[in-house]
Amino acid sequence: MQIRHKAIIISVLGIIIISALLFRLLKDDQPNSPVVTEKENRGLAGESIDVALDFMEVWQEARISTTTNPYQENLTSIKPLSQAVSEMLKGTETAFRENGFDPVLCQSEVPSGFKVKPIFANEAEAQLIIFPKEEKVGVQTIFTLKSQDSLWEISDITCGTGEQGPELGEFTFEQEGFLLKESVQPPLNSEYWHLVYAQDGVLGYTAPLVLGTESQCLTTGNTAAVCSDSLLAEAMQVTVKGNLTEAGVEVKWIELVR
């Protein structure tokens, strides 16, 4: 009878050990960030810039690997990607395999590291640009993040155009707001004009404006002229169209709001 009891105990212990090993193996096989379903909270705690950069670096590591890639690692489904971004990235796998273009790194090559330029940030939303350290012209990834219950979710990933710029009429930045310069407070630089605008009904976003010889100001008389301080004023209501760059918004058009 004792031998039978010992056999039962040994069998139970064996099942427990095997179950533990299987759990360990399955756990180790998962990526660093958990895969989530549509109904789960997809955000992560921390600073928005760290959340975006951490995802970028995890994606970069999978690209560097000689035995796998981000799609095989299921990185298109992990936190902090929103459901919409997750589905968008899943839909790029075929194109990635065919032409090698990476929709997150925004190029075919894998950079050695990254630089980050915040565009705006508040408690509810943030936007930033991530550049490769190699400073390749025209390569930039624009991240938009939204916060819910102090958890940041990547709600949009797009490839910017940098100094190359899109064709006329297509811009990476187009917002209506108010101009400020001398009245802006640190850490904003009062040497530059800034656009203060609202997004999704939330006022308080700011974007520095980079004016150049191609920046056109459309006046009340529908006359276009190269933008200058003489054509702009504090608290002037305008629509700004341009392209996001490391320094800010490279302005193509500033139109007065009538």
Question: What's the chain's average pLDDT?
Answer: 79
Q: What is the pLDDT of residues 2-39, one digit of tens each?
A: 444 444 444 444 444 434 433 443 334 444 555 555 55
Residue-wise pLDDT tens digits, 201-245: 777 788 899 998 888 888 766 677 889 888 899 999 999 998 887
Residues 136-169 pLDDT 10s: 656 789 899 999 888 999 999 988 755 433 333 4
Q: How confident is the model at residue 172 (pLDDT cuts 50, 70, 90)?
A: confident
> In 122-244, at which residue ranges do the beta strands (DSSP E only) sit?
125-132, 141-148, 151-159, 173-180, 194-199, 202-210, 216-218, 224-226, 237-244
pLDDT at 76: 96
**Around 93, how many Cα atoms within 13 Å sit in the side-chain half-sphere?**
13
Task: Give pLDDT, residue 33.
Answer: 58
Confidence grade of residue 121 (pLDDT, cut at 50, 70, 90): confident
pLDDT for position 161: 59
pTM of the full structure: 0.55
2: left (phi over 0), alpha (psi -120 to 50) or beta: alpha
Please say whether the beta carbons of 57 and 126 come within 8 A.
no
Q: Is the pLDDT of residue 199 over 90?
A: no
> In the chain, what is the greatest distance between 2 CA atoms, to the nearest angstrom?
104
